[in-house]
Amino acid sequence: MTQAIVDIRPHESDLLAQIATVHIAEIPDGFLTSLGPAVLTDMYKTIAESEGSFIVACVTDDREILGFLAGSLGIRSLYREFLRLRGMRSMIRLGFALLSPSRMGRILETLRYSTSDEDAKNLPRAEILNFCVARHGHRQGLGGQLMHASEDRFRSANIDRIRIVTGQSQLSAQSFYKKIGANYVCDVEIHSGTLSTMFTWEISAEESHPELQRQSLSLDPTRDTEGQS
């Protein structure tokens, strides 16, 4: 079996559904997981479709997703694109998923986090949205390969630093980010009662993996500054 790191396109519905499945399996207690596979698949389709975001994934030659990393130049423009790109069906799905008051509360907390005073803290807007390797692929270096592929995507958009937020209970991710030299910034309570850690990570100026398959992304870092003062 061979595998490669590739960019996921919005029409690759089978791969997007698998990405949602890997997400749910690897982050079982996460808020997004609680929204269900259909909403998550829609969300990843939007990320793949969005000009300011991308998904890189490790895919086998029989189209099994072993891991993926979703990144964005800024989450605000992604929310707008979700509203613009996804049809009424997705909105209805999302609406049903949010019928629970606790889920609605958590989405408001997420929105508050993403529109908080990042300028004052001099934090980069570009960030890793999510990053998972399927359990049977852990500790084989796939996470590292996906990070390097994302580094190339961010570099091509002239991004030199990104932010990463991960739950404090995500012990593998905490160890992973420390291992790759991410810088601890602070603890954040995005969802009431659940602590996360914020890191920043410097994007190296050198291309790391020129052999990786390229995507001609038109990531434009100015897109996420619309409407901000």
Query: CA angle 181-189-17, nearest 5°?
Result: 75
Stretch that binds ligand COA, among 95-103, 171-179, 181-189, 201-209 (CB under 6 A): 171-179
* 32 touches ligand COA (CB under 6 A): no
11 counts as binding ligand COA under rule CB under 6 A = no
Task: Tell me whether residue 58 or residue 159 sits nearer to ligand COA (CB atom).
Answer: 58
71 binds ligand COA (CB under 6 A): no
Structural element, H or E, at residue 189: strand 183-191
Subset of 176-215 contacting ligand COA (CB under 6 A): 176, 179
Position among 18, 72, 170, 197 found at the interface with ligand COA (CB under 6 A): 170
- Residue 175 binds ligand COA, judged by CB under 6 A: yes
Q: Which is nearer to ligand COA, 40 or 90 (CB)?
A: 40
Q: Does 168 bind ligand COA (CB under 6 A)?
A: no
Q: How many CA atoms lie within 13 A of 83 on its CB side?
A: 5
Please identify which residue in the block is written with the tokens 């998550």.
40
Q: How deeply is 52 buried, as exposed, middle or buried, from its count of CB atoms within 10 A (0-12, 13-18, 19+)?
A: buried
d(CA 52, CA 158): 12
Please tell me the count of residues contacting ligand COA according to CB under 6 A: 21
- Contact between 95 and ligand COA by CB under 6 A: the answer reads no
Minimum CB separation of residue 154 from ligand COA in Å reads 15
38: phi then psi, degrees, rounded to nearest 5: -70, -45
Q: Give CA–CA dist 37/19, Å, rounded.
A: 9
Sign, CA torsion 172/177/181/182: negative
CA distance 43 to 20: 9
According to CB under 6 A, which residues from 108 to 167 bind ligand COA?
128, 130-133, 138-144, 166
The site for ligand COA (CB under 6 A) is made up of: 26-27, 128, 130-133, 138-144, 166, 170, 172-173, 175-176, 179
